[in-house]
Amino acid sequence: MEFEYSVSNENGILNVYLKGFLDASNAVGLMEEMKKYVGISVTRIVFHAKELEYIASSGLRVIIYTKQKIGYEAEVILKEPQAAVISVFEMSGLINFVTIE
């Protein structure tokens, strides 16, 4: 299942664009990409999820890692998530730790 991502850091805002199906087979690649940003100073981490069709525990693992290792002082935003993604965040309890915009 197709998955694309891109990450950019602009003035302390980390933008993570997600498109397609974030599953166990491709979450590793995204995790490796996020590791590159450990140590940088960020105020906001924005996961752009409008085109994200699917996420499961492997993807949630990346979100948790990003918050714990990169954005421990940052606000984590989930931008325009689809219903399927929101339900997974609700199921896992992570909905309480992100801001939906």
Any bridge partners for residue 99, and if so which?
77
**Cα 12 to chain center, whole Å?**
16
Considering the complex, state which of residue 11 and residue 86 has its C-beta at the smaller distance from other proteins: 86
> Counting contacts by CB under 8 A, is residue 13 touching other proteins?
no
User: Minimum distance from CB of 13 to other proteins (Å)?
Assistant: 19
User: Minimum distance from CB of 27 to other proteins (Å)?
Assistant: 10
Positions in 46-85 near other proteins (CB under 8 A): 54, 56-58, 60-61, 64-65, 67-68, 72, 76, 83-84
Measure the CA–CA gap between 24 and 53, rounded to whole angstroms: 14
Measure the CA–CA gap between 41 and 65, rounded to whole angstroms: 15
